Amino acid sequence: MVKYQEIAKDLRHRILNKLYLPGEQLPQEKEMCRTYNVSRITIKKAVDEVVNAGLVIKRRGAGTFVKAVNDDAVKELSMVQQFTGFTESNTGKSISSEIIRFEIVHPSAEVADKLQIDKDGFVYDIIRARYADKEPFVVEYTQMPLDIIPGLKRDVLLDSIYHYIQSGLKLKIQSAHRAIRAMWPNEVEQNYLKVDTSFPMLEVEQVAYLDDGRAFEHSISRHRSDKIIFKTLSIRA
Amino acid sequence: MVKYQEIAKDLRHRILNKLYLPGEQLPQEKEMCRTYNVSRITIKKAVDEVVNAGLVIKRRGAGTFVKAVNDDAVKELSMVQQFTGFTESNTGKSISSEIIRFEIVHPSAEVADKLQIDKDGFVYDIIRARYADKEPFVVEYTQMPLDIIPGLKRDVLLDSIYHYIQSGLKLKIQSAHRAIRAMWPNEVEQNYLKVDTSFPMLEVEQVAYLDDGRAFEHSISRHRSDKIIFKTLSIRA
DNA sequence: TAGTGGTCTAGACCACCGG
DNA sequence: CGGTGGTCTAGACCACTAA
């Protein structure tokens, strides 16, 4: 691990352990340079990481201050920093999947546009219900281009597609663009998730990208609203 | 505007105008240094802005590449960069408010904890219904500490609280922590938003912070699900 | 192995905040 | 006004990718 990450980790720990209290000013950047024996740009990069983690605030002309974030929120901030911003009530539970549909088709015009691929190409068209300890919590509709993700089999769908992409195909996932809405469940979701017509669902539509810039997945996930919360942190530019 | 922002703006425009095509490699950093006549760190900071805007991807050892993002998504990315990530179907409409409740009370234990204030202090307790061209779209439940936001009056609530905080009180808003869920509407929401018991709602719970680190607002907004989409972009660390 | 972006330095000047 | 963080330089070395 490089210097600025080490320093950022140290600052996070000091804040979480209340060595720096909410509202308190952190040491100035020049002083930190002496403390950690690094240049000022390195300190700046370290502190910026902690700003983006939501723990502190910088003000030109004034200093750097610890935010008054409550303890529960702080714990979740470390989660938000992960790739997904989801808090599912599934931690520690065993996840399994049921395959509802697994076909190869031409993409719809909409999906072809979102994935920026040709309408004449082929995509997997997958529908899965996912279970945590045999409790159903989400139905996922996924399309992925055949030529980017070759060799998909049923056993991969039963396990984790993302694991296959990263470990099996050695591809790297870079980012995801998401849109979140509330919805009613359709008939499929009512059946698999065991909810009635009026039960509210949280829909997450996602386009995900590899580190070469190609879109490799379009998916729509319809979650039972009692099983998921989406958390996010926005910092004003 | 400083150099790296100018360069970032130029790169964004080139990508949006297809001078750099999806999948295409951008000029290497050293070449950009010559083109823009700046140092490499400045180029790095400019390109990082474009990465965070979701338009390009950097790979050590390989280069910087334009993401295959579809045009609609690109347009919305510039919106996502704003403070709020919301796409309401309200652009260009006149927003008005109806005050349902406006009291000063002691905070609940939960709100006191989330705002990190004393339970013996006072907070405004506000409930508002908000309209776009007389169409109701959201009910907001807001608590704000009296000593941080003094002098709140009914006419401010009818207009914009955020405008009063920034222009009237000269305070600066730094960040917001949000949790998003799907829900049924309660009786108040059913009445004001003109929806029935089973209509799904998108709830956004928010704690907002000033640039001195103090939490100044806790709010819960219940949106008609047909009037709002929440958009977000996550990039893997 | 050649070429890419990632990290880091030591120092300079600037914009902004607060007393 | 002194002190803060913001920007920027010119250069060095490193880690990683791809051929």
Q: Tell me the average pLDDT across B14-18.
A: 92
In this prediction, residue B71 carries a pLDDT of 78
pLDDT, tens digit only, all 237 positions of chain A: 899 999 999 999 999 999 999 999 999 999 999 999 999 999 999 999 999 999 999 999 999 999 999 877 776 666 655 666 666 666 677 888 999 999 999 999 999 999 999 999 999 999 999 998 889 999 999 999 999 999 999 999 998 898 899 888 999 999 999 999 999 999 999 999 999 999 999 999 999 999 999 999 999 999 999 999 998 888 886
CB proximity A173 to B under 8 Å: yes
Same domain, A124 and A160: yes
Mean pLDDT of chain B: 91
Whether the CB-CB separation of A130 and A140 falls below 8 Å is answered with yes
Other CB atoms within 10 Å distance of the CB of residue B13: 10
B61 touches strand C (CB under 7 A): yes
Same domain, B67 and B117: no
In this prediction, residue A69 carries a pLDDT of 92
Q: Which residue has the higher pLDDT, A60 or B82?
A: A60
Please determine, for residue B174, whether its predicted confidence score (pLDDT) is greater than 80.
Answer: yes
In chain B, % of residues over pLDDT 90:
76
CA distance B162 to chain A (A): 14
- Residue B192 three-state SS: helix
What would the two tokens of residue B217 be? 């607002």
Q: Which amino acid is at A152?
A: L
In a domain? residue B105: yes
B23 touches strand C (CB under 7 A): no
Q: Tell me the average pLDDT across B62-91.
A: 75
Question: Residue A116: which of B68, B81, B237 has the nearest Cβ?
Answer: B68
Q: How far is CA A148 from CA A152, A184, A208, B55, B70, in A?
A: 11, 33, 12, 20, 18
- Residue A39 three-state SS: coil
Distance CA B142, CA B125 (A): 6
**Residue B197's pLDDT band (boundaries 50, 70, 90)?**
very high
Final residue of a domain: which of A81, A110, A135? Answer: A81
In a domain? residue B235: no
Same domain, B65 and B111: no
In a domain? residue A237: no
Q: A85: exposed, middle or buried (C-beta count within 10 Å: 0-12, 13-18, 19+)?
A: buried
- The string over B29-60, giving b where at least 16 C-beta atoms fall within 10 Å of a residue's C-beta and e elsewhere, is beebbeebebeeebbebbbebbbbbbbbbbee
Same domain, A148 and A204: yes
CA distance A102 to chain B (A): 26
| CATH code for the domain in which residue A199 is found | 3.40.1410.10
Please determine, for residue B88, whether its predicted confidence score (pLDDT) is greater than 70.
Answer: no
In a domain? residue A99: yes
Please determine, for residue B183, whether its predicted confidence score (pLDDT) is greater than 80.
Answer: yes
Same domain, B33 and B110: no
Which range marks the domain in which residue B61 is found?
Answer: 3-81
Residues 189-228 of B with CB under 8 A from A: 197-198, 200-202, 207, 209, 211-215, 223, 225, 228
Same domain, A27 and A92: no
Q: How many CB pairs under 8 A join A and B?
A: 191
What would the two tokens of residue B41 be? 């760190």
In a domain? residue B236: no
Count of structural domains within chain A: 2
**Residue B231's pLDDT band (boundaries 50, 70, 90)?**
confident
∠ CA B103-B105-B107, nearest 5°, is 130
Protein-to-nucleotide distance from the CA of A212 to the C1' of C2, whole angstroms:
21
In this prediction, residue A118 carries a pLDDT of 94
- Residue A37 three-state SS: coil
Final residue of a domain: which of B49, B81, B113? Answer: B81
In a domain? residue A236: no
Beta bridge partners of B231: A179
| CATH code for the domain in which residue B52 is found | 1.10.10.10
Same domain, A29 and A63: yes
Same domain, A92 and A76: no
In a domain? residue B37: yes
Same domain, B91 and B76: no
Please determine, for residue B84, whether its predicted confidence score (pLDDT) is greater than 80.
Answer: no
Please determine, for residue B67, whether its predicted confidence score (pLDDT) is greater than 80.
Answer: yes
Q: Which nucleotide is nearest to B36 (CA to C1')?
A: D8
Over residues B34-47, the pLDDT tens digits come to 999 999 999 999 99
Same domain, A73 and A109: no
In a domain? residue B237: no
B42 touches strand D (CB under 7 A): yes
Other CB atoms within 10 Å distance of the CB of residue A147: 11
Which chain D positions come under 7 Å from a protein C-beta?
A: 2-12, 15-18
B58 touches strand C (CB under 7 A): yes
Q: How far is CA A175 from CA A102, A167, A210, B192, in A?
A: 25, 17, 7, 39
Distance CA A219, CA B73 (A): 15
Same domain, B77 and B96: no
Q: Model-level pTM?
A: 0.92
In this prediction, residue B147 carries a pLDDT of 92
Which residue in B2, B42, B47, B69 has the most chain A C-beta atoms within 10 A of its own C-beta, making it the best mutation to test that interface? B69
Final residue of a domain: which of A63, A81, A99? Answer: A81
Distance CA B184, CA B200 (A): 5
Q: Tell me the average pLDDT across B166-170.
A: 88
Same domain, B37 and B91: no
Q: Which residue has the higher pLDDT, B88 or B143?
A: B143
